A = this chain, B = another copy of it.
Amino acid sequence: MARSGRRPGPSGTREAILRAARRAFHVHGYDGATIRGIAAAAGVDPALVHHFYGSKEQLFAAAMEVPFTPSEVIPALLEGGAAGLGERILRFFLAANDRPEAGPFVALIRSASSNERAAAMLRGFIVREVIGRLAGALGLPHAELRASLVGSQLAGLAMARYVLRVEPLASADPDTVVAWVAPTLQRYLTGELPRPAPGARTRRSGRTTGRRASRP
Contact residues of A with B, CB < 8 Å? 1, 52-54, 58, 62, 67-69, 72, 94-99, 103, 109-110, 112-114, 119, 122-123, 126-127, 131, 144-145, 148-149, 151-161, 163-169, 171-176, 179-181, 183-184, 187-188, 193-194, 196-197, 200-204, 208-213, 215-216
Q: Determine the distance from Cα of A55 to Cα of B196 in the docked complex, in whole angstroms.
A: 42
Q: Which residues of B contact A175 (CB under 8 A)?
A: 196-197, 200
Q: Which residues of B contact A69 (CB under 8 A)?
A: 213
Q: Which residue of B lies closest to A113 (CB)?
A: B113
The one of B184, B197, B209 in contact with A176, judged by C-beta atoms closer than 8 angstroms, is B197
Interchain CB contact under 8 A, A149 and B181: yes
Q: Which residues of B contact A53 (CB under 8 A)?
A: 216
Interchain CB contact under 8 A, A200 and B171: no
Interchain CB contact under 8 A, B159 and A67: no
The one of B54, B148, B158, B172 in contact with A169, judged by C-beta atoms closer than 8 angstroms, is B148
Distance between A122 CB and nearest chain B CB, rounded to angstroms: 6
Known: A96-B210, A152-B181. 10 other contacts (CB 8 A): A95-B211, A113-B113, A113-B159, A123-B164, A126-B166, A148-B166, A152-B156, A152-B169, A156-B157, A176-B194
Distance between A62 CB and nearest chain B CB, rounded to angstroms: 6
Q: Which residues of B contact A99 (CB under 8 A)?
A: 208-210
Q: Which residues of B contact A159 (CB under 8 A)?
A: 109, 113, 152, 155-156, 159
Q: Determine the distance from Cα of A171 to Cα of B207 in the docked complex, in whole angstroms.
A: 12
The one of B72, B145, B167 in contact with A172, judged by C-beta atoms closer than 8 angstroms, is B145
Q: Which residues of B contact A154 (CB under 8 A)?
A: 156
Interchain CB contact under 8 A, B148 and A167: yes
Q: Which residues of B contact A112 (CB under 8 A)?
A: 163-164
Q: Which residues of B contact A187 (CB under 8 A)?
A: 183-184
Q: Determine the distance from Cα of A212 to Cα of B69 in the docked complex, in whole angstroms.
A: 11
Distance between A97 CB and nearest chain B CB, rounded to angstroms: 8
Q: Determine the distance from Cα of A148 to Cα of B149 in the docked complex, in whole angstroms.
A: 18
The one of B96, B114, B145, B204 in contact with A114, judged by C-beta atoms closer than 8 angstroms, is B114
